Amino acid sequence: MLGIVTVVGIIVLAILIWLFLRTRSQDLIAEMIEKRRASCRLVSRADYIEGMNEQPVALCLSSDNLYYENTDMQASFELSRIDEVEYDDELATSRSIAAGSRALRLRLHGQTFEFVMPAAEAAKWESMLPPRRSGGQPAARVG
């Protein structure tokens, strides 16, 4: 009996720790968004997609750079290095995304970066960072 209570207690403790870490991560992303809000034209919460992994990030657009960061990474690239910008209803791998969400797909020198965000946020991004093909040509909206 004591063994069962111990196992249940350990499982409950693990779940509580996981919930705490998840909530704390969301709070830290909100802090990053607020910190960047003053210096960036647009800031949003998004999910950075890398293969099958999704990482919540603060996605920020300044006049020269795009930043995506969370507690585990701080990354950015210059806007001038972006070859293509697309907005779509599915990922480049044809994996569908949740209803009411859009994918922002950026290509830089053959490398693809994808971010999933609510459709309303994607519309703001599309107005600030319009779709375009390689060579700066405007692109038709995908999806």
CATH number, domain of 66, equals 2.30.29.30
> Does any domain span residue 103?
yes
**Residues with pLDDT less than 50, the chain:** 140-142
Taking the CA atoms of residue 51, residue 56, residue 97 and residue 129 in that order, the dihedral angle to the nearest 10 degrees is -100
> Does any domain span residue 139?
no
Structural contact between residues 124 and 44, judged by C-beta atoms closer than 8 angstroms: yes
Cα 15 from chain centre: 25
> Does any domain span residue 71?
yes
Rounded-to-integer distance, Cα 70 and Cα 127, Å: 24
pLDDT in tens, 58-68: 999 999 999 99
pLDDT at position 24, please? Answer: 62
> Does any domain span residue 138?
no
pLDDT at position 23, please? Answer: 66
Structural contact between residues 60 and 68, judged by C-beta atoms closer than 8 angstroms: yes
> Does any domain span residue 137?
no
pLDDT at position 140, please? Answer: 47
> Does any domain span residue 133?
no
The number of domains in the chain is 1
* Domain that residue 35 falls in: 2-128
> Does any domain span residue 60?
yes
pLDDT at position 35, please? Answer: 82
> Does any domain span residue 140?
no
- Burial status of residue 79 (CB atoms within 10 A of its CB: 0-12, 13-18, 19 or more): middle
